[in-house]
Amino acid sequence: MIKISVITINYNNAEGLARTVKSVVDQDYCNIDYIVIDGGSTDASAAIIAANSADISYTVSEKDKGVYDAQNKGLAKATGEYVLVLNAGDELADETVLKRVFASGQQADIVYGNMIIVHPDGRRENGRMPSQMDMNHMMSDTLWHPVSFVKKSFLDKVGFYDTSYKIVADYDWFLRAIFKHKATLHYIHTNISVFYLGGLSSLPENAAKIKEERMRSQTAVFGEEPVKQWYASQPVPSRSLFSRILKRLRSS
């Protein structure tokens, strides 16, 4: 049975952490390496971690330098053949997810599926990933990390998250993995996780920073001219956006 590392990072989100931990420890799968990285929470998070200590392989609670620094700490401790990052607040879709995904013995560098998106008003939406990841999809969207199992040996080859990106380091990692390191991908048409909107990447006030960071990553991976051509093929607001951000990047 393939060993799966699941990494959960948390900071003062005891309610969300409880939901996430429960979804992992309730899995009908017996070879889980569960890692919980806490940023030094002052709420009830420590009690939740302690109550589930028998099912947690490694945990630490200490101040970190941000979301991706915390995730990198978890990645460094992972011992599974595949790794899934499932942050506090999100959860696996049901108790049989890991068994369904790995029943046939996957070997692709990245194995991914779909997720249920929960809006702040409680409305649920079925989010479906495409079966093929091409430049057009990754320029306009992303590969969601809560539905993506990454082979640990491939992760070590690509490297961990680039913490110079404060909001889209996971997006940057997937760009590098797919287009620079030529990841093999396997899509499974099933819900992997439930994602609750409200994190860094879904806050409206972060939209401008997200666009700027995404463009920096896109330019680093594809080159300035292909990215410029892609934005030029989009509606006028996208072309205008490219011009403004590119000017900012060149002056930084």
Q: pLDDT by residue for the chain (252 residues), tens digit each?
A: 899 999 999 999 999 999 999 999 999 999 999 999 999 999 999 999 999 999 999 999 999 999 999 999 999 999 999 999 999 999 999 999 999 999 877 799 999 999 999 988 888 999 999 999 999 999 999 999 999 999 999 999 999 999 999 999 999 999 999 999 999 999 999 999 999 886 555 556 677 888 899 999 999 999 999 999 998 888 755 544 444 444 444 444
Query: What pLDDT shows up at residue 245?
Result: 45
Query: What pLDDT shows up at residue 240?
Result: 47
Longest Cα–Cα distance of the chain, Å, equals 55
Q: How far apart are CA 4 and CA 172, in angstroms?
A: 23
Query: What pLDDT shows up at residue 234?
Result: 84
| β 82-85/4-10 pair status | parallel
Give the residue carrying structure tokens 């539905």: 147
CB 163 within 8 A of CB 65: yes
Query: What pLDDT shows up at residue 47?
Result: 98
DSSP string, 91-156: EESSTTHHHHHHTT---SSEEEEEEEEE-TTS-EEEE---SS--HHHHHHS---GGGEEEEHHHHH
Per DSSP, 233 falls in state: T
Q: How far apart are CA 35 and CA 85, in angstroms?
A: 10
CB 200 within 8 A of CB 170: no
Instruction: Measure CA of the first residue to CA of the last residue in the chain; give whole Å.
Output: 49
Domain 4-202, CATH number (from 3.90.550.10, 3.10.180.10, 3.20.20.210, 3.40.50.2300) = 3.90.550.10
Q: What is the dihedral of CA 31, 8, 134, 131, to 10 degrees?
A: 50
Query: What pLDDT shows up at residue 203?
Result: 56
* Cα 121–chain centre separation: 23
238 exposure class (CB count in 10 Å sphere: 0-12, 13-18, 19+): middle
Per DSSP, 180 falls in state: I
**Helix, strand or coil, per DSSP, at residue 183:** coil
Predicted structure pTM score: 0.90
Query: What pLDDT shows up at residue 100?
Result: 93
